[in-house]
Structure 1
Amino acid sequence: MATMFWYLAIALSIATVFGSMATIATEMNAIDQCWRQNPNWRRHRQQLAKCSVGFAGKMTDNIGKDVTHYKVTDPSDNPLNPKPGTLRYGTIMISGKVWITFQRDMRITLQKPLLITSYTAIDARGTTVHISGVACLMIYKASNVIVHGLYIHHCRADEQSLVMGPDGKIKQLGKADGDAIRLVSATKVWIDHNTLYKCEDGLIDVSRGSTDVTISNNWFRDQDKVMLLGHDDGFIRDKNMKVTVAFNHFGPNCNQRMPR
């Protein structure tokens, strides 16, 4: 009788565990179900590129055998002479496809806007990475970009900036308003699972011909102007803009520009 009791208890425990797992799985959205249920996702990070939805489409051009795996080990920032190991070096100095991860939790204070080139994936899963400073992330005339899992906040405006460009030459940038992530003439961009707050202007700015963008699973909080889609009503190139906004959370303390 006692043996039967223990068999029954074990069976109920197993059923409870699998029932809980099934409940968690059904509560996940399509993006999270795609990769979170794989217990070995750290070994298969590029699987994430197949999980995007909406107008960005699948980000499969970011993966393959020709990807450079780059790990950020140094939280410092030098806009004119990026050091190996820093985030800026990974986003601007490596040609071709690059998949960027982080060695540990870190706080990065940007001295100037961080340019992100085409075929770049920033993947902060498994770490807590805070980015703040001058103007923060800028995706300028780039395509096939993934930004995943960052905390971006307290981004400040800047009148003009000199930064290292992707061609190895110093590039002058115009005025930056102080957005967390700014897209300028960018295409096929996926912004997912980031936490954005308390920036001088807005949190995400998609403008000047940018299109095929998916903004998903982000947490926007403590911000007046949250998201700008389109430069202005008279900018013709933005009339055909395609942006998917899905599974995001707005608030607390968000006041305006919250497309859902």
Structure 2
Amino acid sequence: MTKLSVNINKIATLRNARGGDVPNVVEAARKIESFGAQGITVHPRPDERHIRYQDVRDLKPVLTTEFNIEGKPIQQFTNLVLEVKPAQVTLVPDAEDAITSNAGWDTIKYESYLKEVISEFQKHGIRTSIFVDADKKMIEGAAKTGTDRIELYTEQFATDFAKGKEDSAKAYAECAGLAHELGLEINAGHDLSLDNIEYFKKAVPHLAEVSIGHALISEALFMGLEKTIQQYLKFLK
């Protein structure tokens, strides 16, 4: 079964919009785990516009599933990850003003940089994953960095699938196959939803984990959080 890690950034966005501590992100994470999700993902950004650095610290001691922290490895982020020591860190090349992640790493251009960062995290027992586009050259480059996993950036898949393109997952399946051959495990995320996750799961081999936040929380507004998570788990079996 492909594991489901739920990104709770949108829970924090809702809290921050009003001020105070409602909804509480720690309580939300506990509920999500109790509903069957196998992981919790957060993506703190330097401006803390949704998940705050203190949220990350508060979550670590109470989570019972895998904790995945995403972000660009600036010094502030690196220090936080080394302090908290999650199960996994996912490196994302975010611009500081990005609304959401919008590109994978150029693993060829940044090979030496990524090697250094990944080595530091792995020395502390933290599994590493790097965010990449469905491009075989970037997959080959990722393997040279020493990372444990890649996370396929799936926005293009979601766009093509919505347009009814028959080969919407072809490049992702090929890249997943290559990554597996190169000894990498495969995660995926961005714009995956109940509309497309079943197709993606069936089309893409060796899929270890998906990280889903915006769509899942949006769907839960209509279906309820527990029912939404259960539906994802059904599709991921």
Question: Same-fold call, TM > 0.5?
Answer: no
Between 1 and 2, higher relative CO (CA 8 Å, sep ≥ 6) is seen in: 2
Q: Which has the higher strand share?
A: 1
TM-score (norm 1): 0.30
Q: Flag the structure with larger Rg.
A: 1
